[in-house]
Structure 1
C-alpha cells in the first residue's frame, strides 16, 4: 500500500482495489480504469488513450518489474493450486486433482486414461455415446492420442472427444500465462528464423555456382544438400523441344516444369455416367507419361463444364510441375457428388462422381491399378506406359521393301501357316474361375450406397468387398 501511495494512490483507491482483488485470478487484472476510476489514472500520470488501450498493463507502466509483479501475485492471489500447501500431505493430493495443471507451479492432473476408464465403467449401462471430454495436458504427444483411441476402442466406448490444453486459439479458462522470459525466447527464435531465411535465400541464389560436377549422382546430392530438399524424381528424364525431339536428359527438381511438346499423343475415353455423357482426353510425353488432361461435359457455357475445365487445368499444371499421378489418384478416388452411378465404360462399371471416374480411368491406364475396376483390363491396356516402353526397346526398326511395278514379276510363294494357338497359364485359369464365381455372386447385386462398388451376395443379403458395408441386413 505504501508503494502505491507513493505513486499517487489514496485510501479510497486502496479500498476499491482490495474489493476487486477478492475475486481476481491475477493481480494485474484488478489494476484498471473500471476498478480505480479515471481520477486515480490521472493522478498516476496516465493519459486517456493509454489506460483505455486493451493491452494496458498498469503495474508494468508504473515501473514494477515482472519479478515484483509475480511475487505480489503469489502473495495476494495465491498459486491457484494446493500443491505445496502447509499441513496437506502428499498422499491427499489426488483428492484435489483436476483435468489440467493448476497455476504456474502446479504439476499434478488427472491422467487421460482416468477419463477413459471412467467412461468405460458407465458405457455398458447406456444405449448411446457419452458426452464427456477426455482432457489431455499441453505436453501430450501424438502417440498419447493414438493410445487413447486404441484403448477406447478396446473398452468398447461409442465415442471419444479429446481436448488438448491450450490447443485452441482462444480458451475460456487458461491456467497458464507467458512471462517476460518466454517472450524474450520467442523474440530470439523469430530473429534466428529470419536469419535462417536470409541464409537459405543466399544459398538458392548461389546454387548454380555451387553445383559444379558432370556426374549425375553427385549433382543430385549437392543440389539436395544446398536446397535442403529431395529431388522430385532422381531418374534422369528427357527434355523435349516443341517438335517432340529429345533436347537433353536431365534431373528435374521439385517445382520445376517439364515442358510438353507442341505435338503429342494421348487417349480419348468416351463414356456415360448414368445419362450424362463425358469425354476424357489426355496428353502424353513421348515416353508415355501423363502430361495433361481435358474433361468435356455438358454444353458450352454451363457452369459445371467450366468448373471441370478449371479443375483439369490445375491437374495438368501439377503433373507438369512434378506432382505424382499416384497422389492425385489416392486423394480423388471415391469423391462423392452427382452425377454418379453406373457407367458404360468397358472396365469401370460404376463411379461415385465425375472426378472419381476420371481418376479411376487415369489410374488404370497410366498406373496399372486394377483394385477398383469391375472388369480387369487385358493386354497393353493393363499398364500402358510401361508396356509401350518395353515394346519400343524390344521391337526392331521396320524396313520398307520396294514392290515390283508389274504384276507378273511378283513371285507366288506357298503360304505356310506358322501361327500357334495361345496357351492358357495356370494363373489365368484360376483367375477365370474366380471371375466366373464372382460373376455369379454379383450378377443381380446392387451398387453399394457408401462407395459405389458393386456388392456381392452374402446369404440373403449383400455385402461390399470394398468398404465393408452391408445391404438388406438389420
Structure 2
C-alpha cells in the first residue's frame, strides 16, 4: 500500500521531546495516485481544462459576481466554478494579479505547503517533497479532498502583514508577535477562547472574538467561569452575570460580520448545567424570539437580518448547555439537581433534574436553542486530560479541545473514492488520509494565531480536524438505506479507517520529527484513548461491510496503537466531522458531513435567469446498483421530476424505498428519516472521531416537547458528545421567495386600504370632475402567477360586470419591503385610473417593452421573454383584455435556452420540500439557504453562516 514509510527498527529514544529541524531525518513519501505519471509530467497535465465564465446573481436578478475566461477542470460543475472563483481566487478584479485559473489557486496553496514542509525538514529528500506536492495537488484537482476556507483565502498570498497575531519561532522556541516584516497566514477556521472572572478578561475576549470574526473564523467560549447574577464582587457590589455580557458579545458579533462580509458571525456560547444562571440561559433565546414574533405581527420585516430580529438579543450565537453524567442521571432518576455558586461552590438553587431538562427541550422546541454538550463523555475521550479538561467547542460543535486552541479543518469527498466498478477504494482512501494529515501538520507552525496562548497551545498539542463529506450520497449510490444497520456499519467502518489512519500517520510523523510537546505529560491517557477507539471496531458488524473495509478498520488502529507506544503522536487530535459548507461546493458534494440528502429534488437558478429542477444525481446510480434497467430508471426519474417524490414511481419495488429516504418529506410523499435515524448514525460515527460531529437533528413541525427531550436523552445514552435539534417551523423567519403551502404569503395589495379621494378645492370657476366607476362589493377576478428570471409574483385583476378590468393587485415580495410598497402603490394608481376611465390600451402602449431588471425568460409561451416586470404585466393585460394579437414579441426570440443549457421550469408542479420554508435568506445574494450541520449554506453563491 502506498503510504508513509519509516524504519520501524530504528526506535527513537528521544521521542519525548520535539526534535529541532537539524535533528530531523524526514519522511519517505511514496507516490500512489501519481505513480504512473510520465517523467516531466505533473497532476495538472492529467486534467482536461476548459474556459468558462463564473457568474452569480442575487435574488433581485442583479449580477453580484462575474469573471470571464476562467480555466477550470472540465469535470468540475459550474457551481464549483462559481464558488471557487468568487470566494477563493486572489487579487483585485480587473488587474493582472487576479487569479484566473484553478491551477493557479491550487499551485499557490499546495506549493506553499510543500515549501514549508521542506523548510521544516519533514521530508527525507527533495524527491519525497515532490511526491508529496504532486499527491496533494492530485487530491485537490480531482475533488478528493479540500482544506477549510482560511487556507484558500490566505496561504501563499504575498501581502504585507498587518502586525496582528502570534506565531511560533523555532529558532528561539518561543511564541512571538507578528510585525510587518513577518508574514504568517491565518489557516484555522475553528477557535476556542477562554474567559476569566474579571472585567479585563471579558473585554479581552470581546477583542479576540472581534478579530476572529474579521478574518472569517468562528469561536466558542464557556462562560461558566463568570460569577452568577447578583454574586458578590470582591470590591463590594453585585455581579451582573454571564447573560448581561452575552448581550454585549452578541452586539459585537452582529456588527463585526464574519470575514468582513455581510454574513453573520459564527459563535458558540456554553453554560454548565450547574451554573446558577442556567435557567435564564436556557430561556434567553426563546424569550427574545417571542419579542421578534410580536414585532413581526406588528408588520416589521421578518427576515433573519430584518428589523424584527435585529431588535432582539442573542441572535448571533449558538447556545449549548454543558451537562455531566451526574445531571443526566438526575434526569433519568427524576431526582434533585443543585446549581452551585461560581465563587463559593455552595449550593444555590434546587431543581428537579427532569424539570430542567424539560425546560431545555421546550426552549429548543420553540426556537432551536439551546443544544446540548455531554461533558463527561467529551472528557472521557480527551487525549490530553492531564493538561486540562475540555470546556468548550467551536460554533458548530465539531472541534472540542483545550481552552485557547485552534484547529484547521479539511475534508475528504467519499464519492471520489468509489471505483469504476462501484466499490469503495480503501487503499486510495488511506493514502489520501496520509497526505492531508501531513499537509495539515505542516500548516500548524507556519500559521498565525490571534493570541499568544492559542499560538502556544496550537504548537504544543497540534490538533487537526480531518473529516469527510458525501456520506449520504455514498450510501445511496451503494443502494444502502441511511437509516439501517448496514448504513451505520458502513459509516462506522469508514470513520474508523479515517481516524485510525490519521493517528497512524501522526505516529509516523512523530518518529521522525518528534511527538507534540504536550504528549509526554499525557502519554498514559493518550494511549488509553487510542486503545478505546480501537476496541470500538469490534462493535461494527463485519457481515454488513466489505471485508477490505472492515480489515482496514482493524489494521489501522492496531498499527496506530503499537507504533504510538514507541514513538508517541504528533497531534493530540486528528479528526472531526465538520459541516463542509463552502468547501462542499468546491468538491461538488451532494451531501455534507454525515447528513443524508435534504430532498431528492433541488432547485437551481440559471446564470441567464430562470429556475430548474434537479433530481439528485445519485438516484440513477443507486437504481442501476439495485438492478433496474435504464428504461426503468428513466421512468422513475421522470416520476421524481414530475412529483418531487419517488413514492408511487412506476416499477419501483417497495423494499427499495428506504434507500431514497431524505431528511424532509417530499411535498407529495410521506416518507422521511426519523430523528432517531439521525441520532443512531451519529452514534455509529462518534467512537471513531477525535472531536465531535457537526449535525442538526431535523424534526418535523408536529414533534412534541417530549420528542425533543427524548432525543436529547437518547443522544447521551448512545455516547454522542454534542447534539443540536431543529424542529421545522420553530422560527418565524420567512424566505424572500416562498413556495405554495404554509410558506406562501397573502397578497399585500389585497390588504391595503384604498384611500378616499381628496375633496375638490373650492374655486369660483366651474370644476369638471371625472366620474369614478366603482366596482361592486362582490366582483369577479382573475389571478395569474408569473415568473421573470426566477422572480415569482401574482397579478390579480378585479373586473366590472361587463368583464373589463377595474382594479389591479400585484404581489412580488414580502410585506413591508420597499419593492412591495412600490408595487402596491403603483397597482393602486392603475386601479384608480381604470375606474376613472383610462383605457387599458393606454397602459399597454405606455409600459410594454420598458426595460429594467429583473428581466429574462418567463416560461409563458405567449410572452416568452420579459424586459421588466412592467413589460410582462401590461403585455399580459393586453393578451387577456384586448386580444391575442396585441402582444408583440421580438422577432426570432426562442422560448427555449441554448441547447447546451437545461430548459427553465418556472412553473413548478410542487413546492419545495418541507423544512426549508423558515430558513434564512443569504446575506450575500439573497438566495434561500438550507441547513448545513449546525449552520446554513447558500446553494446559489456558496455563502455560509460560519461553516468551513
TM-score range (shorter-chain normalised) is under 0.3
TM-score scaled to structure 1, two decimals?
0.27
Question: Relative to total residues, which structure has the larger strand share, 1 or 2?
Answer: 2
TM-score scaled to structure 2, two decimals?
0.14
